[in-house]
Amino acid sequence: MNQILITGEEKFKEPKKQPKEKKVLPINVIVAFFAICIILLGISMVSGSVYAKEKINEVVEASKKPTVEIIRNDDNNTIDINIKHIRGIKTIAYRWNDEEETIIDGKNRKNVSESIDLLGGVNTLSVAITEENGQVVRYEKKYTVGNIPEIKLEAVSNGVQITATNDEAKISYIEYSWDGGEKQKIEVGENQYEGIINAPKGQHRLAIEVVDENNMKARKEQDVIGDTEPTLKAGPQYVNGEVAFVIDASDDEQITTVEITHNGGTMQVIDVNDKTYHNEIIMTKGEVNTLIVTVTNINGLQKTSRIKFTNK
């Protein structure tokens, strides 16, 4: 009998594997994927653009200053100030020439209108407008006004000296009041008036109105401190056998400075900050000695003494 022997190799031989087929995505899926990516990228770019624009706007808005319109109103003899802003106005500060600054509370309003009385003569108005973020607009202009009286105020001992003039018309009268109280009237009838208005003790607000014969009015307000000038005594005396200028000064509140010029030399400015001051200045022998002393108190009132003495 013929037998067919099967060897071990042939018995365990594995059949050949068929290669796997590669899967290919449909074209519509690919298109949809890229479309989604483009949309997401666009959204990202738009969002970034909007964010950047908002940031730029924030910077621009933060640095924006108030819009200010300042108009001379000759009908009312005033300077009219109109302010508009996206934020509130904190203060309006103004002053004429070198006078004290007057501050108006803006009350954080976004639209503010204020009027400032014109002064007669030639005067410079300075205005500073501050908004709630600290942005400031400044304005300065010189105004010449010839048809209303001119007022000048100067601090003197126990009050204020007022000088009112009008070259074009006579001054009919002057009215004044302290701290908005009862008005006092001064009849004038001349082109110029000069006088002293006594002030109450301490700091007070003086309001003055000058009216001429054509009913043109000039107004002015100023803080005034009712105070007396310092006391000053200066003269020649013997000090330790030598002739000297002896200076004694005093003030009921405080002496701030004493200015001394001896024999036309350089002025000495001495800080005192006390109620009394004493000094002795030895004179030059055989010459005519001169001394000029000015004492200033804490409220700006001064007392000056001028002395000449021949030291033989």
Mean pLDDT of 167-172: 90
Report the C-alpha gap between 122 and 238 in whole angstroms: 52
Report the C-alpha gap between 209 and 191 in whole angstroms: 15
Distance of CA 79 to the CA centre of its chain: 18
pLDDT at 215: 86
Report the C-alpha gap between 175 and 184 in whole angstroms: 5
pLDDT at 167: 86
Q: Is the pLDDT of residue 130 over 80?
A: yes
Mean pLDDT of 26-30: 66
Pairing of strands 184-190, 192-198: unpaired
Q: How confident is the model at residue 8 (pLDDT cuts 50, 70, 90)?
A: very low
In the chain, pLDDT over 90 holds for what percent of residues? 51
pLDDT at 255: 96
- pLDDT digit string (tens) for 273-302? 999 999 999 999 989 999 999 999 998 889
φ/ψ of residue 10, rounded to 5:
-75, -25
DSSP label at residue 157: T
Report the C-alpha gap between 295 and 257 in whole angstroms: 6
Q: Is the pLDDT of residue 50 over 90?
A: no
Report the C-alpha gap between 294 and 312 in whole angstroms: 26
Which residues have CB under 8 Å from 297's CB, separation 6+?
227, 229, 230, 251, 253, 254, 255, 256
258 compared with 160, residue with greater pLDDT: 258
The dihedral through the CA atoms of 300, 301, 306, 311 has a sign that is negative
**Which domains can be identified in the chain, with CATH numbers?**
67-145 (2.60.40.10), 150-226 (2.60.40.10), 231-311 (2.60.40.10)
Q: Is the pLDDT of residue 9 over 50?
A: no
Report the C-alpha gap between 301 and 160 in whole angstroms: 11
Report the C-alpha gap between 219 and 162 in whole angstroms: 12
Q: What is the residue-averaged pLDDT of the chain? A: 84
Q: Does an H or E element contain 208, and which? A: strand 202-212
273 compared with 61, residue with greater pLDDT: 273
Q: Is the pLDDT of residue 10 over 50?
A: no
Helix (H), strand (E), coil (C) string for 38-107: HHHHHHHHHHHHHHHHHHHHHHHHHHCCCEEEEEEECCCCEEEEEEEEEEEEEEEEEEECCCCCEEEEEE
Q: How confident is the model at residue 76 (pLDDT cuts 50, 70, 90)?
A: confident
- pLDDT digit string (tens) for 78-115? 999 999 999 999 999 999 988 888 999 999 999 999 99
pLDDT at 163: 94
pLDDT at 138: 92
Report the C-alpha gap between 253 and 227 in whole angstroms: 9
- pLDDT digit string (tens) for 171-228? 999 999 999 899 999 999 999 999 999 988 888 899 999 999 988 888 888 888 888 8
Contact 89, 110 (CB under 8 A): yes
